[in-house]
Amino acid sequence: MNIVLWIIFGLTIGIITNIIDPSSTKGGILGSIILSILGAILGGILGNLVFGIGISGLNFPSVAIAILGALLLIFVERAFGKT
């Protein structure tokens, strides 16, 4: 995917992640997009290592892995970040 599609994918995952966990993240919408893109990357790496499934486009397994990765990053950010 090119960079524009990654941004749109990150925005979509950020919106879904904010619906699941509505408490605010640092950085506003830009922070949410960046966190979601990083979550998609992390989810893709972990999903590939554990289940053999990575981010392969806009399909259900890729979206689910990206959401789980973004939620994991939000959890880590809250656990170790300063409030």
The model's pLDDT over 19-63, given as tens digits with 9 standing for 90+, comes to 887 766 667 767 777 777 787 778 778 888 887 776 676 778 878
Q: CB–CB of 34/8 below 8 Å?
A: no
Report CA-CA distances (Å) from 78 to 35, 45, 53.
Answer: 12, 21, 27
Would you say residue 3 has pLDDT above 60?
Answer: yes
**10: closest CA among 58, 72, 78, 60?**
58
pLDDT at 82: 63
Alpha-carbon span 9 to 49, nearest angstrom? 22
For the chain, the 3-state helix, strand and coil shares in percent, each to the nearest 5, are: 75, 0, 25
